[in-house]
Amino acid sequence: MKALVYHGPGSKALEERPKPVLSAPDDAIVRIVKTTICGTDLHILKGDVPSCEPGRILGHEGVGVVETVGPACTLISPGDRVLISCISSCGKCDYCRKGMYSHCRSGGWVLGHTIDGTQAEFVRIPHADTSLYRLPAGIDEEAAVMLSDILPTGFECGVLNGKVRGPGQSVAIVGAGPIGLATLMTAQFYSPSQLIVIDVDDNRLAAAHGLGATATINSLNENAVARVKALTSDAGADTVVEAVGIPATFELCQDLVAPGGTIANIGVHGHKADLHLERLWAHNIAITTRLVDTETTAMLLKAVATGTLNPKPLITHRFSLDTILDAYDVFGRAAETKALKVVIAA
Ligand SMILES: [Zn+2]
Ligand SMILES: [Zn+2]
């Protein structure tokens, strides 16, 4: 089968690999129908994720059709159209029993990381019953791909951890990439009165405006702190979501948060960042961190199936698996190509 293989920092190739086979009784083999590229794949290619070793097939998102299942699978059957969760989970270990599937003792984020992933014609999914979701009838497959990772990540790490709870609240999202936009979309379940999005890319800010932002700020041209204060009666935002992952944006969040507010970090940080306790110690704030647990995936699937949530505007480009190297090129030059999510048909 064809697969996109990581060959060490800066190096990848589309090549022929053996089709995966069942290796545990609760495995399934899934034929990929659609997959996508994540910012995390770019981090791997930069060499930021040493736990991902050369030779690994990348990708942790996708939808497909179940081809074969091991004898221990009782929920998932051959022929099922399924969503592949970026988090694999056994459902039985101590972390899984607490709903922290991202920390599963024999799972977590393993696909396209420590085991071969979804940017291929076929993928082996461990713990298939609890790591795959049957797609509701009639659901758009491209929209569903957005639920493998970015929608549950924005919702769980940004909206739920950020305590977005209802009308009257102000929410500031720092970073208008796919994850920031997924946070923007799912924050609207709770009708906050202000949804302010901050980025340095006008294309992405225009996308945020189209997806429901009440104000957008290009922090290259404007003082984001002054503008957010002006929009919030000088208080700052009740919820501030960090969706970039660099020290400067985490520090900006500390300047944007209102007394009593919450900073919800989503960004993948590769460097230490300053925490200004000399100012924040008396501000009654909370800071949260989280790796997506995908505990809300089934709910989000229903929201897409019923039209409450429409993630399709996040898809800007489409490719086939044969042209996945072009897809990486377009996704990697997002500022020029205006790419948000690219969908790859296998
Ligand atoms: Zn991802
Ligand atoms: Zn587990």
> How many whole angstroms from 131 Cα to the centroid of ligand 1?
15
Rounded Cα distance between 96 and 17, Å, is 32
> How many whole angstroms from 227 Cα to the centroid of ligand 1?
31
The predicted-structure confidence for 12-23, as pLDDT tens digits, reads as follows 999 999 999 999
The predicted-structure confidence for 198-244, as pLDDT tens digits, reads as follows 999 999 999 999 999 999 999 999 999 999 999 999 999 999 999 99
CB 125 within 8 A of CB 89: no
Domains, the chain, ordered by start = 2-149+293-345 (3.90.180.10), 152-288 (3.40.50.720)
> How many whole angstroms from 341 Cα to the centroid of ligand 2?
29
pLDDT at res. 53: 97
pLDDT at 192 over 90: yes
> How many whole angstroms from 222 Cα to the centroid of ligand 1?
31
Decide: residue 133, CB within 10 A, 0-12 exposed, 13-18 middle, 19+ buried.
Answer: buried
CB 168 within 8 A of CB 191: no
For 338, the 3-state DSSP assignment is coil
pLDDT at res. 330: 98
> How many whole angstroms from 109 Cα to the centroid of ligand 2?
11
> How many whole angstroms from 107 Cα to the centroid of ligand 2?
6
β-strand partners of 341? 315
Indicate which ligand has the atom closest to the C-alpha of 150.
1
pLDDT at res. 329: 98
Average pLDDT, the chain: 97
Decide: residue 307, CB within 10 A, 0-12 exposed, 13-18 middle, 19+ buried.
Answer: exposed
pLDDT at 111 over 90: yes
pLDDT at res. 292: 97
What would the mean pLDDT of 67-80 be, rounded to a whole number? 98
> How many whole angstroms from 110 Cα to the centroid of ligand 1?
12
The predicted-structure confidence for 243-253, as pLDDT tens digits, reads as follows 999 999 999 99
pLDDT at 48 over 90: no
Reported confidence tier of residue 158, pLDDT bands at 50, 70, 90: very high
- C-alpha pair distances (Å), 18 with each of 3, 53, 120: 9, 18, 11
Give one DSSP letter per residue of 107-170, joined into a string: -BS-BTTTB--SSBSEEEESSHHHHEEEPPTT--HHHHHTTTTHHHHIIIIIIITTT--STT-E
CB 88 within 8 A of CB 131: yes
Indicate which ligand has the atom closest to the C-alpha of 86.
1
Q: Are strands 81-84 and 62-69 parallel, antiparallel or unpaired?
A: antiparallel
For the chain, first and last CA: distance in Å? 10
Could you count the other beta carbons within 10 Å of the beta carbon of residue 265?
24
CB 38 within 8 A of CB 341: no
What would the mean pLDDT of 289-301 be, rounded to a whole number? 97
| Strands, E assignment, the chain | 2-6, 12-16, 28-36, 62-69, 81-84, 122-125, 132-134, 170-174, 194-199, 215-218, 237-242, 257-265, 286-288, 315-320, 341-345
Q: Are strands 28-36 and 62-69 parallel, antiparallel or unpaired?
A: antiparallel
pLDDT at res. 166: 87
Look up residue 136 and give its two tokens.
Answer: 């509701």
Reported confidence tier of residue 270, pLDDT bands at 50, 70, 90: confident
Indicate which ligand has the atom closest to the C-alpha of 99.
2
CB 10 within 8 A of CB 48: no
Indicate which ligand has the atom closest to the C-alpha of 94.
2
The predicted-structure confidence for 86-102, as pLDDT tens digits, reads as follows 999 999 999 999 999 99
